[in-house]
Amino acid sequence: MTEHAYIEDIAAHEGKGVTLKGWLYNKTDKGKLQFLLVRDGTGIIQAVVFEDDVSPEGFEAARAVTQESSLIVTGTVRADKRAPGGYELTANAVEIVQLAEDYPITPKEHGVEFLMDRRHLWLRSSRQHAILRVRAEVVRAIRDWLDSHGFINLDTPILTPSSCEDTTTLFETDYFGERAYLAQSGQLYNEAEIMSFGKVYCFGPTFRAEKSKTRRHLLEFWMVEPEMAWADLDECMRVEEELVSYVVQTTLKNRAEELKTLERDTTLLEKVNPPFPRLTYDSAVEILHREGVSIEWGDDLGAPHEVVLAEHFEKPVFVHHYPTQCKAFYMEFDPERPEVCLSVDLLATEGYGEIIGGGQRSASYEYLEQQVEQLGISRQAYEWYLDLRRYGSVPHSGFGLGLERTVAWICGVKHIRETIPFPRLLGRMYP
Amino acid sequence: MTEHAYIEDIAAHEGKGVTLKGWLYNKTDKGKLQFLLVRDGTGIIQAVVFEDDVSPEGFEAARAVTQESSLIVTGTVRADKRAPGGYELTANAVEIVQLAEDYPITPKEHGVEFLMDRRHLWLRSSRQHAILRVRAEVVRAIRDWLDSHGFINLDTPILTPSSCEDTTTLFETDYFGERAYLAQSGQLYNEAEIMSFGKVYCFGPTFRAEKSKTRRHLLEFWMVEPEMAWADLDECMRVEEELVSYVVQTTLKNRAEELKTLERDTTLLEKVNPPFPRLTYDSAVEILHREGVSIEWGDDLGAPHEVVLAEHFEKPVFVHHYPTQCKAFYMEFDPERPEVCLSVDLLATEGYGEIIGGGQRSASYEYLEQQVEQLGISRQAYEWYLDLRRYGSVPHSGFGLGLERTVAWICGVKHIRETIPFPRLLGRMYP
């Protein structure tokens, strides 16, 4: 048998014989000529099967093969300007490995629940394939940038004795008699690690048991959380805009084909380069009032506010110095104006809303001790966290970037459920 | 203030003024001369503070600074052959950022439980720092190799309706009225994904609620699981030996300093290159019998067997064709000898035991349907998995490599608890 080749490398085999192993994506029957669209995960190519070129069994296979059957096709690679990828295969052998009968997802329109029930098969459609290739590229770009900028990747625990955020949205499990919760963030652990490593990041699954069904929420999603010793709010924003710009530009370059498949208008994405506009929370409220949007100073910004704000900018926009009361207990407050804190959210363009939350953490033992007491959170569970301010406390900052929201934004997909292979949603844990 | 520099880049600043931001690792008081060992996460350097070179406040700071206090030191970089990194700093300013009082981990010996209770601080010791730098390097090397060999990184779900392995070792949680379990593997999901992407891998946390306390078990650990369409057992072993060799050689090259800190004898690691020796299960049992180790044909190999077998080889060794009865329900059996299956484990050298388990998965709908029925596992929960054999089934293989075991082996550390920032063990969820 000739060499097994991948479709993405097909140009290197022009004029030569290759064996392709894949699945039938589609076909056209022209009697003595069978046109088989074959996909192998790396690309799609048309195999032209002429009755006289193959054995009777091979031609019968080409005639009989059905959508999503697995098959092996051997033939010669020919350049063809009219072909989608610029090449096609003149087949001299066709073998069906397993004949698929009545594949349920056909070229006709299907409802979302029908497709979600068949997510394990829906993944094969060109649109889902493209979105998840973009996802993998985004993951790689994030890691490449952080790895090459002095950040050490360390994994923080999922099973934790308590949470740093709202305890009503926690998944709980029994840990040999103790109660454990699935982590919503690795940040507090990152804060311990930076005292040893300087700059770190964790990148793993996070969990929110939120009883809400929106196009922006998953119960299980992935988040990258960089944390930096000796960095203030300003440095935090600089790192965020550099990272996000690198990720967007790298994806535009390496996943141009996929973004074309998704019919993504990349005009605004091409402009994603530092610096990003910076807006104080105060100015954000002013803009919203001018636009007639109802908000009171002190309220957190919700998705509708974020959409209105983002419309004023052609790039992602930072909103910083939120009211201290609407951010987490560990945020550093502004020493000149304690009612606001050194927090920052990054809002994506085109209505995609918040993709990053972060800011400068309090370095003060006294302030955090008081916060833990006032909030009535377990002193004992946070003793180790307070230790970080007892032994070599430093100013430090960090942030969390939501992977699925970022992928949805770059791909231009409306609902976050398509940006992860097997989404976990309210009422949906299968497949 | 002069430029903030990192200690790992110090050579580039020779003869120039820099500002270092870090923590006091150790110091020597010689009256008018204070020798401060400063670490910043990227390295350690000695700052020499001479009373006449700094302000009175600066000298008082140098005199007063305690172990693990955070500090900022400004000075001039000087080459010095006697210094550990080849450079030292002649200080002209010293500022304490936060004075640590009574740092609990001192250079004297501490018990393991004492250190584990203070894991958030223990991370700062040079040994823990080195192990976790190696861990980050191993993660990066694994991802680099897979990304550059056509594998697409896709994240599989943690919250799953049922498990593919023993259900007695599952962490359980309430998923809005349904029972959900924390995944022990992403493999079954990977098998769906390869039908769309060809080659994929997941790399995330996995959970085993095992009531065992050994030096090789964590309740929460990280695993990378590559899966390949069209790959047989032989190809699976080829990929494993190439990946493992790349990871070991890359780590030896990029983390030589850290391995020296750990006093790792790297003689055997240097020999880790393809091909690895391959041993059938039958031959393994013969060797064990010859060595007088008790085992019956059909038993799975345990840690003591693995240690004895590995001693016969200077490289990691494959054991393949295990009895079908001791491997998972989805393993492909050998068509010529159904009592053995196309599975393979990889045993590390020097007694570190199994670091990879994997093999070829059954492609047969009929066989898997029968397996699901015989094992009494939920047909409904596995319907989607059976679909993969209904629609374009292909021969395929894959494996799971345990990150912490691999790091323990490369670092030469005895207990796996030191290979993850915040280990989760029986009776241990803090900090």
The per-residue pLDDT for B168 is 80
Q: Is A73 on the interface with B (CB under 8 A)?
A: no
User: How far apart are the C-alpha atoms of B321 and B344, rounded to whole Å?
Assistant: 7
Which of B40, B69, B250, B422 is the best mutation test for A, with the most CBs of A within 10 A?
B422
CA nearest B201 in A: which residue?
A136
- Which pLDDT tens digit goes with each residue over A357-382? 999 999 999 999 999 999 888 888 89
Binary contact (A23, B155; C-beta < 8 A): no
Mean pLDDT of A313-319: 98
Within the 40-59 window of chain A, which residues sit less than 8 Å (CB to CB) from chain B? 40-42
Q: Which residues contact A85 (CB under 8 A, 6 or more apart)?
A: A7, A10, A43, A44, A45
Per CB-CB distance under 8 Å, the chain A contacts of B199 are: 41
Binary contact (B123, A211; C-beta < 8 A): no
Is the pLDDT assigned to residue A165 strictly greater than 60? Answer: no
How far is CA B57 from its chain centroid? 45
Whether the bond between B275 and the residue before it is cis, its omega within 30 degrees of 0, is: yes
Q: Is A386 on the interface with B (CB under 8 A)?
A: no
Residues B219 and B81 reside in one and the same domain: no
The DSSP string of A129-144 is: HHHHHHHHHHHHHHHH
pLDDT > 90: what percent of chain A?
92
Is the pLDDT assigned to residue A2 strictly greater than 90? Answer: no
Give B71 to chain A, closest Cα distance, Å: 8
Q: Nearest 5°: CA angle at B139, between B157 and B401?
A: 65
Q: Is A19 on the interface with B (CB under 8 A)?
A: no
The amino acid at A234: D
Residues A188 and A337 reside in one and the same domain: yes
Which of A19, A123, A179, A196 is the best mutation test for B, with the most CBs of B within 10 A?
A196
Domain contains B314: yes
The strand pair at B317-320 and B278-280 is best described as parallel
Residue with more model confidence, B106 or A134: A134
Cβ contacts from A onto B, under 8 A: 255
CB-closest option in B6, B118, B424 to A159:
B424
Domain contains A108: no
Binary contact (B124, A182; C-beta < 8 A): no
CB B201 within 8 Å of CB B225: yes
The per-residue pLDDT for A1 is 64
The per-residue pLDDT for A381 is 87
Binary contact (A152, B172; C-beta < 8 A): no
Give A408 to chain B, closest Cα distance, Å: 15
Residues A128 and A271 reside in one and the same domain: yes
User: How far apart are the C-alpha atoms of A70 and A49, rounded to whole Å?
Assistant: 16
Q: What is the CATH number of the domain that holds A188?
A: 3.30.930.10
Binary contact (B154, A136; C-beta < 8 A): yes
What's the order of all strands across the beta sheet hosting A220-229? A152-153, A199-207, A220-229, A396-402, A353-361, A343-348, A317-320, A278-280
Query: Can you tell me which residue has the tokens 């996909």?
Result: A39
Which of A120, A147, A393 is the best mutation test for B, with the most CBs of B within 10 A?
A120
Residues B130 and B50 reside in one and the same domain: no
Binary contact (B152, A143; C-beta < 8 A): no
The per-residue pLDDT for A124 is 98
Residues B80 and B203 reside in one and the same domain: no
User: How far apart are the C-alpha atoms of B202 and B288, rounded to whole Å?
Assistant: 35
Q: Is A424 on the interface with B (CB under 8 A)?
A: yes
Per CB-CB distance under 8 Å, the chain A contacts of B395 are: 97
Q: Is B174 on the interface with A (CB under 8 A)?
A: yes
Q: Is the interface score ipTM higher than 0.85?
A: yes
Residues A81 and A132 reside in one and the same domain: no
C-beta neighbour count of A275 within 10 angstroms: 12
Binary contact (A431, B384; C-beta < 8 A): yes
The per-residue pLDDT for B84 is 80
Q: Is A430 on the interface with B (CB under 8 A)?
A: yes
- B371's enclosing H/E stretch is helix B365-375
- Domain of A299? 119-419
Residues B243 and B377 reside in one and the same domain: yes
Binary contact (B194, A41; C-beta < 8 A): yes
Can you state the angle between helices B303-310 and B281-290, rounded to 10 degrees? 80
Binary contact (A219, B159; C-beta < 8 A): yes
Whether the bond between A275 and the residue before it is cis, its omega within 30 degrees of 0, is: yes
Is the pLDDT assigned to residue A162 strictly greater than 80? Answer: no
- Which pLDDT tens digit goes with each residue over A31-84? 999 999 999 999 999 999 999 999 999 999 999 999 999 999 999 999 999 888
- Which pLDDT tens digit goes with each residue over A173-220? 999 999 999 999 999 999 999 999 999 999 999 999 999 889 999 999
User: How far apart are the C-alpha atoms of B133 and B143, rounded to whole Å?
Assistant: 16
CB-closest option in A155, A426, A430 to B421:
A155
Give A425 to chain B, closest Cα distance, Å: 10
Binary contact (B133, A152; C-beta < 8 A): yes
CB-closest option in A139, A363, A426 to B153:
A139
Domain contains B67: yes
Within the 278-337 window of chain A, which residues sit less than 8 Å (CB to CB) from chain B? none
Which of B155, B394, B416 is the best mutation test for A, with the most CBs of A within 10 A?
B155
Residue A163: pLDDT band with limits 50, 70, 90 = low
Give the three-state DSSP class for B320: strand
Tell me the Cα Rg of chain B.
Answer: 26
User: How far apart are the C-alpha atoms of B338 and A421, rounded to whole Å?
Assistant: 34
Q: Is B126 on the interface with A (CB under 8 A)?
A: no
Phi, psi of B159 (to 5 degrees): -80, 115
Per CB-CB distance under 8 Å, the chain A contacts of B426 are: 176
Q: Is A163 on the interface with B (CB under 8 A)?
A: no
**CA within 13 Å, CB half, A16:** 14
Mean pLDDT of A405-425: 97
Residues A226 and A151 reside in one and the same domain: yes
Looking at the DSSP bridge assignments, the partners of residue A228 are: A199, A397
Give the three-state DSSP class for B259: helix
Q: Is B394 on the interface with A (CB under 8 A)?
A: yes
Using CA atoms, how far residue B406 sits from B125, B346, B415, in Å, is: 21, 11, 12
Residues B33 and B168 reside in one and the same domain: no
Burial class (CB in 10 A: 0-12, 13-18, 19+), B208: middle
- A106's enclosing H/E stretch is none
B18, B14, B105: which is closest to B68 by C-alpha?
Answer: B105
Q: What is the CATH number of the domain that holds A65?
A: 2.40.50.140
Domain contains A365: yes
Using CA atoms, how far residue B350 sits from A107, A265, B74, B405, in Å, is: 56, 56, 46, 12
Domain contains A299: yes
C-beta neighbour count of A45 within 10 angstroms: 26
Domain contains A111: no
Residues A286 and A151 reside in one and the same domain: yes
Domain contains A77: yes
Q: Which of B98, B129, B162 is the last residue of a domain?
A: B98
Q: How many domains does chain B have?
A: 2
Binary contact (A140, B153; C-beta < 8 A): yes
Mean pLDDT per segment of 10 residues, for chain B of length 431 residues?
92 97 97 97 97 98 98 97 91 98 92 97 97 98 98 98 72 93 96 98 96 92 98 98 98 97 98 98 97 95 94 97 95 97 98 97 97 87 95 98 98 97 95 94
Phi, psi of B282 (to 5 degrees): -55, -50
On average, the pLDDT of chain A sits at 96
Residues B123 and B92 reside in one and the same domain: no
Domain contains B268: yes
Residues A66 and A177 reside in one and the same domain: no
